[in-house]
Amino acid sequence: MMSNRLTDTLFQLVHSLEKSEKRHFKLYIKRSSAKEDLKIIQLFDALDKLPEYDEKLLLKKLPGIQKPQLANLKSHLYKQLLASLRLIKASDNIDLQLTEQLDYARLLYTKGLKIQSLKIIERVKEIARANQKFNFLALVLSLEKKIETLHITRSSHESVDEMAEESLFIAGHIDRVTRLSNLALQLYRRYIRDGHARNEQEEKVIKEFFKAKLPSNAHEIQGFYENLYLCQSYCWYAFIRQDFLMYYRYAQKWIDLFNADPRMISVETGHYIKGMHNLLNAHFDLRNFSKFDDVLEEFINYSKTDTANQHDNFRTHTSIYINGAKMNGHLMKGTFKEGLALIPEVESKLQEYALYVDNHRILVFNYKIATLYFGSGSFEKSIDYLQKIMNGHHANLRTDLQCYARLMHLLAHFELGNYDIIEYLIKSVYRFMAKMQNLTVVEEEMFKFLRHSFGVSPRKMKPELETFLDKIKHLEKNRFETRAFAYLDVISWVESKVYEKPMSEIIHQKYLESKHTRR
């Protein structure tokens, strides 16, 4: 649930500013010392000092400002802050630079200085082409064609023909990019809402949707953006279907696009960061331990570069993805107790970046933290974090993850011997998962085991566990059952009971064996 301090848009903007940005804003405003502008500086200072947004307290700190004036002053301050940020950020943002130059070309045209306008247009086209900003190039060509159509500029027939051809090429490119980016977005949103495909019927729906939306000439495309969105579309298509090998291949191709043209890392930094996050996830899902460690090290090194720290969004998401990957490293290696050391930093960063972190990301972190505590044997602490998921306002987010939070919550109480509530929890979790149509064979078998275990004496429990393990062990390679093991390693949990070893030891031993086998 969003705290009060995050509910006012102006307050959010003021508290997102860095020291240099605040200093620049003061200088920017003081150049024009109008009475109204001095009032917005007072408002700015008052908001900057407030720990959370409180309008009554704000008005007390501004004795010269009445409540009816406040709304207009806030609106004025918001616009001036954006104008100040635009000036300070233009030099390190190619989109802002291009927009500024196009604005100059338009201004010169309205003044009747057509030739000067066309000279700027030529420069802007070169920059846009070099950075593959075809959407922007379309706007520039539109202004150029307007000038050429309405006025005699003495441009050659050849240049006009080239302009016409380029316009057609760009229109085709934009159409393909639009279709592919739509497909990538729709698949991603589908995953955020529902998680992985749970059975063949759901996979069939995804396959039909993907086939219908994928452009017929998708594999003939050229250009950075077309290939970028093609890779993203295939990544989400594969990930939803739990085809983790395909997911890895396209996540790697995604990053290869940037490696082939490193200049694009600074142009599309957000896409690069997301690609590294997906590549790490792919290695995690495939248990490619050494490659996971290599990519994580590369990502950590990247996070220290100027490009990664250029904007709040980049810095925030790089930090979040790296911390998530570090947790994943401990989860797949069974080093749960070592992983607990990450929790204070993760929670501190989530608090620091509260303005930028979405509910989905918080949901995922709470689940990872709960899993680390569960694997460490700290079941009470695990329950605390699972309840944040179960009691939170996330009804439209990741039904699969919410289901597994309830299942882990049930197992934590089982581990604690809270048998007085186990029967109620079994019925409650079963109903929740059945309602969400989220039951796999593994889960069905687990519920059967838990129900049956009530009537079994401790002396006879081990044979029951061995029988349960035998029933689910062969499902480990079944693609539609893998999510049960990805979210909660049920097999390792049962093995820990059968072999009377900590779950962390079971998983760590598998990690060591796998590492040795792959050498």
Angle between helices 441-453 and 399-416 (to 10 degrees): 20
The domain spanning residue 437 has which CATH number?
A: 1.25.40
Question: What six digits make up the tokens of 165?
Answer: 């051809």
Residues 354, 390: one domain? yes
- Closest by CA to 280, choosing from 264, 296, 300, 268, is 296
Question: Any idea what the Cα angle at residue 445 is, between residues 443 and 447, rounded to 5°?
Answer: 70
Unique residue bearing structure tokens 């129900």: 451
Residue 321 included in any domain: no
Distance CA(494)–CA(411), nearest Å, equals: 11
Question: What six digits make up the tokens of 122?
Answer: 């030529």
Residues 16, 145: one domain? no
- Closest by CA to 439, choosing from 261, 198, 222, is 198
Show which of 52, 73, 91 is a domain's final residue: 91
- One digit per residue, pLDDT tens: the chain, 519 residues? 344 445 689 998 998 888 888 998 988 887 765 655 678 888 999 999 998 888 889 988 888 788 888 989 899 999 999 988 888 877 778 888 899 999 999 999 898 898 899 999 999 999 998 888 888 999 999 999 888 888 766 566 677 788 888 888 888 888 888 999 999 999 999 988 888 887 788 899 999 999 999 988 777 777 899 999 999 999 999 999 989 999 999 999 999 999 999 999 998 999 999 999 999 999 998 889 999 999 999 999 999 998 898 888 888 889 999 999 999 999 999 999 999 999 999 999 888 887 777 788 888 899 999 999 999 999 999 999 999 988 876 656 677 788 889 989 999 998 998 888 888 888 888 888 777 665 677 778 888 887 777 666 666 778 888 888 888 887 766 665 555 566 778 888 889 988 989 999 999 998 888 776 665
Residues 461, 477: one domain? yes
Residue 254 included in any domain: no
| 3-state secondary structure labels for all residues of 15-80 | HHCCHHHHHHHHHHHHCCCCHHHHHHHHHHHHHHHCCCCCHHHHHHCCCCCCHHHHHHHHHHHHHH
Show which of 133, 155, 177 is a domain's final residue: 155
Residue 103 included in any domain: yes
How many residues are there in the chain? 519
What burial class does residue 181 get, using C-beta atoms within 10 Å of its C-beta: 0-12 exposed, 13-18 middle, 19+ buried?
middle
Residue 229 included in any domain: no
Residue 447 · residue 430 · CB < 8 Å:
yes
Residue 101 included in any domain: yes
The pLDDT of residue 477 is 67
What's the one-letter identity of residue 509?
Q
Distance CA(468)–CA(443), nearest Å, equals: 11
Residue 445 included in any domain: yes
Residues 150, 12: one domain? no
Residues 13, 124: one domain? no
Residues 130, 68: one domain? no
Show which of 91, 117, 143 is a domain's final residue: 91
- Closest by CA to 289, choosing from 517, 516, 515, 488, is 515
Distance CA(202)–CA(60), nearest Å, equals: 58
Residue 22 included in any domain: yes
Residues 441, 344: one domain? yes
Residues 18, 148: one domain? no
Find the domain containing 408 and state its range: 334-519
Neighbouring C-alpha atoms within 13 Å toward the C-beta of 397: 13
Residues 379, 401: one domain? yes
Distance CA(76)–CA(70), nearest Å, equals: 10
Residue 373 included in any domain: yes
- Closest by CA to 140, choosing from 148, 268, 177, is 148
The single-letter DSSP state of residue 342 is G
Question: What six digits make up the tokens of 485?
Answer: 């093991």
Residues 46, 135: one domain? no
Residues 350, 421: one domain? yes
- What total of structural domains would you count in the chain? 3
Helix residue spans in 261-311 (DSSP H): 263-267, 269-286, 289-303
Residues 19, 143: one domain? no
The single-letter DSSP state of residue 336 is H
- Closest by CA to 445, choosing from 430, 425, 431, is 430
